[in-house]
Amino acid sequence: LLDEFEEAEAEDYMTVKRDFESRKPAKQRHPDMEDWTFMPEDPETFFSFEEYTKYREELNYGYENELAEVYEKLLEKPNEMSIDCDDNGNVKVALNSLDNQSGLKGILDNWYSMEPYWKWVAQLYGPEMIERFGGFRIVDPGLLPMGMISLFRSGRVQWQE
């Protein structure tokens, strides 16, 4: 988006500069302008690109992909994108080892039934989890007392390294 903005801005600058250098009368170049009393100090010299872009956040130049439009697009919530998994990779093998586990949430034994968020988590952090813990099953619920499990779920526990 920013590359498109910079290209559009440079293109607009060149168009305005060509119009200025072609010596078209100002009223032809800017028919919508109402106040013609302003005159720059040096009306023969067109300003630099740096001066042209100095107030880009405040002015509306009238071309597509202006900075305000780019900013608004960047504020939009992006669409979730799913990813594929290598069928023979470590992540897929580790997921298959979760088969027949009850109570799984988030990272599941079936890649295709997981939400896109959890697919990304599995792909990004899965190899390190497999290396450190031998798979995605890092806690065996049968080995923890029920009081500890409810304490962990309540969020009152802070892990320290």
Instruction: Report the range out of 17-21, 50-54, 121-125 with the highest average pLDDT.
Output: 121-125
Q: What is the pTM for the complete model shown?
A: 0.48
Report the phi/psi class of residue 46: left, alpha or beta, with left for phi > 0 and alpha for psi in -120 to 50. beta
Residue among 38, 58, 47 at smallest CA distance from 16? 47
d(CA 3, CA 7): 6
Task: Give pLDDT tens digits for 83-105.
Answer: 888 877 888 888 888 877 777 78
Q: What is the pLDDT of residue 52?
A: 84
* CA 49 and chain centroid, separation: 28
At residue 74 the predicted structure's pLDDT band, cuts being 50, 70 and 90, is: confident
Q: Could you say which DSSP state residue 106 is in?
A: S
Q: What is the pLDDT of residue 42?
A: 75
d(CA 45, CA 43): 6
